[in-house]
């Protein structure tokens, strides 16, 4: 029986992993890696996976691993548009709300690998975390099953290359954001609202206010704020 490895750190992906495992456990042997120290060439050589899927992974994948196994990452842009970091935030800042989820083979470059398949994805509403959960559902319910049910052949990326830069925590400062319309601020707050991301904030002397759970209703923004004393 072929083995499948899923390497991820987000709880919504882990929940979807167990649903996937339940649906395909008669065809594949599944292995979950949620700690970077577990992703070793020694471990992988023992189980010899057909695929290693990385639906959300924050660490470098060693050359020895992607050269010896089919490593697949999922990127929230229509590659080669949007190579690089912070894809959701960069897409929203550029007002690109209709995008793709690209499943690509890991190689030595940053999102430069050959493409196996793409799925449509819309990010016009919802927090960053809500969009990540929606992305996870598509990846685990449509894209990974496509790999498990078919022998997919990757193709070279085609089109104009546009590279994104990873955002810095200081860029979450709302007072530094120049375009302060209601819709722009709605986008700005929601695109940073996810576990592990620096939320939109303003600083007033020794006070820091963070914003989340934002909704645009009746020409006003409604949401949650938390106030802290700066250390």
Query: Is residue 90 within 8 Å of residue 170, measured between CB atoms?
Result: no
pLDDT(231) > 80 = no
Query: Is the peptide bond preceding residue 217 cis, with omega within 30 degrees of 0?
Result: no
CA–CA distance from 167 to each of 10, 49, 154, 184, 204 (Å)? 20, 34, 30, 17, 23
pLDDT at 212: 97
Q: Which single residue is written with the structure tokens 């023992």?
A: 46
pLDDT at 1: 86
Domains delineated in the chain: 2-164 (3.40.50.170), 169-229 (3.10.25.20)
pLDDT at 34: 95
Query: Is residue 100 within 8 Å of residue 118, measured between CB atoms?
Result: yes
Q: What is the pLDDT of residues 66-106, one digit of tens each?
A: 999 999 999 999 999 999 999 999 999 999 999 999 999 99
- pLDDT above 70: percentage of residues in the chain: 100
Ranges 21-25, 64-68, 204-208, 227-231: which has the least confidence = 227-231
What single-letter DSSP state applies at residue 140? Answer: I
Mean pLDDT (the chain, rounded): 95
Q: Considering the entire predicted model, what is its pTM?
A: 0.94
Q: What is the pLDDT of residues 133-181, one digit of tens each?
A: 999 999 999 999 999 999 999 999 999 999 999 999 999 999 998 888 9
pLDDT at 230: 81
The model's confidence at residue 58, banded by pLDDT at 50, 70 and 90, is confident
Nearest Cα residue to 82 out of 19, 144, 164, 154: 164
């Amino acid at each position: 029986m072929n083995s499948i490895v899923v390497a991820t750190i987000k709880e919504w992906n882990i929940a979807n992993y167990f649903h996937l495992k339940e649906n395909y456990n008669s065809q594949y042997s599944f292995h979950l890696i949620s700690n970077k120290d577990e992703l070793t060439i020694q471990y992988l050589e023992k189980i010899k996976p057909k695929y290693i899927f990385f639906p959300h992974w924050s660490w470098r994948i060693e050359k020895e691993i992607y050269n010896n196994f089919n490593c697949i990452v999922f990127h929230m842009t229509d590659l080669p548009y949007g190579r690089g970091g912070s894809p959701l935030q960069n897409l929203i800042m550029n007002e690109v709300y209709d995008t793709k989820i690209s499943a690509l083979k890991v190689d030595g470059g940053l999102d430069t690998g050959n493409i196996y398949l793409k799925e449509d994805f819309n990010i016009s509403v919802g927090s960053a975390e809500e969009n990540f959960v929606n992305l996870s559902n598509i990846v685990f319910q449509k894209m990974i099953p496509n790999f498990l049910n078919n022998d997919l052949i990757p193709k070279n990326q085609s089109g104009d290359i546009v590279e994104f830069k990873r955002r810095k925590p200081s860029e979450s400062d709302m007072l530094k954001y120049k375009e302060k319309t209601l819709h722009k601020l709605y986008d700005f707050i929601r695109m940073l609202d996810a576990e592990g991301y620096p939320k939109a904030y303003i600083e007033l002397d020794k006070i820091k206010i963070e914003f989340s759970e934002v909704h645009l209703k009746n020409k006003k923004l409604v949401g949650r704020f938390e106030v802290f004393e700066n250390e």
